[in-house]
Amino acid sequence: MAMDVSQLRTVIHVAELGSLSKAADRLHIAQPALSRQVRLLEEELGVRLFNRHGRGMVVTEAGQEVLRHAQRIMSELEEIRASVADEDAPLRGHVSIGMPPTVADILSIPLVSAFRASHPEATLRIVSAYSGYLLDWLHRGQVDVAILFETRPSRSLRSIHLLEEVLHLIGPRDADLSQADPIKFEELADRRLLLPSSGHGLRKIVEDCASEAGVHLKISVEADSYSTLKNLVKASQGYTILPLAPIHDEISEQRLSHAPLYAPVPVRRIMMSFPSDRPTPRLAKFAGQILQNTIQELVNRGAWAGNLPQESSRDLE
């Protein structure tokens, strides 16, 4: 028996849910029928797609490769349906969105809400990781669109500049920091700093600014988790340098304080990238437009400190 679309759909849902019974409930198909589809596909391909255990099913390495192709095939089938359907009709299918942790904390809720309202039958996967991993997964086709901190230009990507994000000095609630009183970067030499480790994008921005200011920074603690950095600062263990958007609630509730930095001003550019070597699915375009609009709205109402590029209003089509 040749593989068919129903088998590929089954693999996708079982992999996502980690359970045949949960996939059967979602697809409204009897569990034995789904189990048979998986077994027949494994027999045809000559590989085991899942490891079975008492808590469910886990995708094997071979299964991950099959899953990647299955998701792409299902997306292409959905594109065929969409190409002849009403442009405003809800879409089905699967889309994977990659975002750095600080960005995912801000954009995940509005993104999921927009999908639920406009495309309730679509399945959305949000992958939170650092830009280097996201870039690799984007090239491999494991994510359809990714928010990245600026990377080297690549002919295999189509990138849109979303925001130039301003970084601030973050301190405990009772620190001598104020939005109205900017701090010169060279003054950081006298402060106990908590920063990500070397090689982290934010750390490189801070070190480049220190070099430009001609100062040596006293970095007492390295932590690559933004939550860890925030908690250490709240516990009065030192100061860190972060964008304001991920800590907007802590700032509003006066659990942290902050001040702008200047001479130089630390900034990082946020990009949105799509693979240029294959068509962009309509769901990925929709996700990209929602992400772009949400960032613009947050900046315009002062919830995200940064500068919007002039081309940010350009349509993603």
Measuring CA to CA, which residue among 14, 13, 8 is closest to residue 41?
A: 8
Which positions of the chain have pLDDT values less than 50? Answer: 312-315, 317
Residue 45 within a domain: yes
For residue 79, the model assigns a pLDDT of: 66
| Residues 202-232 pLDDT 10s | 899 999 999 999 999 999 999 988 889 999 9
Which value, to the nearest 10 degrees, does the dihedral of the CA atoms of residues 37, 39, 41, 44 take? -140
CA atoms of 260 and 177, how far apart (whole Å): 9
For residue 83, the model assigns a pLDDT of: 66
Residue 78 within a domain: no
For residues 209 and 263, membership in a common domain is answered with yes
For residues 195 and 46, membership in a common domain is answered with no
For residues 150 and 277, membership in a common domain is answered with yes
- What's the Cα-to-Cα distance from 36 to each of 58, 64, 65, 110, 254, rounded to whole Å? 17, 19, 20, 38, 57
CA atoms of 145 and 96, how far apart (whole Å): 7
Residue 80 within a domain: no
Q: How many structural domains comprise the chain? A: 3
Residue 71 within a domain: no
For residues 308 and 286, membership in a common domain is answered with yes
Residue 286 within a domain: yes
Question: Which tokens belong to 283?
Answer: 């769901």
Peptide bond just before 264 cis, omega within 30 deg = yes
Residue 72 within a domain: no
For residue 301, the model assigns a pLDDT of: 87
Which value, to the nearest 10 degrees, does the dihedral of the CA atoms of residues 226, 232, 234, 237 take? -140
For residue 277, the model assigns a pLDDT of: 67
For residues 290 and 142, membership in a common domain is answered with yes
Question: b/e string for 189-222 if b means 16 or more Cβ within 10 A?
Answer: eebebbbbeeebbbbebbeebbeebebebebeee
Assess contact for 241 and 169: CB atoms under 8 A.
yes
Q: Give me the CATH number covering residue 12.
A: 1.10.10.10
For residues 143 and 188, membership in a common domain is answered with no
Residue 76 within a domain: no
For residue 193, the model assigns a pLDDT of: 97
Residue 73 within a domain: no
Q: By residue range, what is the domain housing residue 257?
A: 166-267
For residues 178 and 94, membership in a common domain is answered with no
For residues 149 and 283, membership in a common domain is answered with yes
For residues 59 and 98, membership in a common domain is answered with no
For residues 252 and 276, membership in a common domain is answered with no
Q: Give me the CATH number covering residue 223.
A: 3.40.190.290
Global pTM? Answer: 0.66
For residues 158 and 278, membership in a common domain is answered with yes
For residues 255 and 193, membership in a common domain is answered with yes
Q: Give me the CATH number covering residue 107.
A: 3.40.190.10
